[in-house]
Amino acid sequence: MSATTHGQSTRTTDTDRSRKAEATARGHRDHRSLALAVIATGMLMIILDGSIVTVAMPAIQQDLGFTPVGLSWVVNAYLIAFGSLLLLAGRLGDLLGRKRMFLAGTGVFTAASLLAGAATSPAVLVGARFLQGMGSAMASAVGLGILVTLFPQPRERSRAIAVFSFTGAAGASIGQVLGGVLTDALNWHWIFFINLPIGAAALAIGAAVLPGDRGLGLRAGADVLGALLVTAGLMLGIYTVVQVEHTGWTSPRTLTLGAVALLLLAAFVVRQARARTPLMPLRLLRSRNVVGANLVQMLMVAALFSFQILVALHLQKVLGYGAAKTGLAMLPAAVVIGAVSLGVSARLNARFGERRVLLAGLLLLSALLALLTRLPANAHYLTDLFPVFLLAAGFGLALPALTSLGMSSASEDDAGLASGLFNTTQQIGMAAGVAVLSTLAAARTDDRLTEGHSLPTALTSGYHLAFATGTVLLLAAFTAAWTILRTEGR
């Protein structure tokens, strides 16, 4: 009888242990899912803010009395702070703790959003936008670094990166719709106030669920001179690019500032090779996947930013769409991107490898921009635009694969730096793409107007040139991916 009782007790103990183990595993999965949701929400808020502002610019100008040149600084102040601080913020996340950096950045961004929404003068709004850029850099620079350490297995990491990538496309499209709706229904102040509940929720949940890390300590990378060089070089370089539309590419001002920016960045690289505790250990750049993925990303983003900006301009300036209708018209692109990135990209990456999936995505995107070079001035949405938007599925293939390759060589100690570098090249690509393609489109439009063409025809011709240039950039990205990138283990 006692033996039977003992056997039952043993089985009961084993069952209890099994249940506890399952509960622990389930709790761990839930914990990581919440952490991923916090990171994705932070990225959504940042991308949402970037696109929501562009729709509300006319209302902001009218209410606060911005000059046309001054109005550009509502965007430029954000871009300069964001792009120039990403690399530094990513490395500081490795040194001080990525969780601390993410939460601090989210807090700064949320507080700056309150200041921007309450702004009653151009100076206050531009200052708030600079602070928003700082907070965005701090949070987004370490987001990928947290993600890759949280999901170490290739298959689950691929799924997590797909979710992360989707939020970028979703934020851009939702921002265009939401910006128009909020501005028309309430006023432009609410495009910033909308960030407050999102930021507060991300802070509260993130403090509880994000993995804690103490960081390497400042002594592991206390290179003050290197930090000054890279921040000054990136800030001056991005400032030069965003001012090209007003100063021209060959003006003495542009050439001088561009040369100084390049010298500062070159001095930073030399400093990192010689410093005892470098801010950016150059071993990260020995990986052909890291170098190749960042190069491909710059080319791809430079081309595709023309899609987001110039198609929206075509819809509004040529076809006469309003702000909200423009956002809704471009929504199918976000839907197919989301369906592909969340539904199939992880499985395709696991089966065929990230490199092949990236190449397929780049081909689809090249076809998208190539078709837009034939877009007529009197385009019909269902026949001329809607089928083209479906090719945006290529972005849902390309970005998760590219992100996986760009982070593939990052160790736990360098994950924040790799994340910051990947985000930096993305911002440089965006800024350069807007400057180059917008300048080309404007110049072609002016030439056509001089020749006597109507405004819609002239604008369409300018956009055609920009889309053709974007197609060339995407084919260059395809070539770089084909020749440089390698899928590990294949």
Residue type at 215 in one-letter notation: G
Nearest to 242 by CA among 368, 480, 429, 80: 80
Question: What's the longest Cα–Cα distance across the chain?
Answer: 105
User: Tens of pLDDT along 463-477?
Assistant: 899 899 999 999 999
413, with CB counted inside 10 A (0-12, 13-18, 19+), is middle
Place of tokens 């393609």: 437
Encoded tokens for 126? 């531009």
Predicted model pTM: 0.76
User: Tens of pLDDT along 420-476?
Assistant: 788 788 878 887 887 788 888 888 888 888 888 888 899 899 889 989 999 999 999
Q: Which residues of the chain are under the pLDDT cut of 70?
A: 1-30, 51, 55, 68-69, 168-180, 183-185, 215-222, 306, 323-324, 409-416, 487-490
**Rounded-to-integer distance, Cα 392 and Cα 115, Å:** 36
Q: Any long-range contacts for 110-117 (C-beta under 8 Å, 24+ apart)?
A: 110/135, 110/195, 110/196, 110/199, 110/200, 110/203, 111/135, 113/49, 113/192, 113/193, 113/195, 113/196, 113/199, 114/192, 114/193, 114/196, 116/192, 117/189, 117/190, 117/191, 117/192, 117/193, 117/196
Q: How many CA atoms lie within 13 A of 373 on its CB side?
A: 13
**Rounded-to-integer distance, Cα 219 and Cα 292, Å:** 30
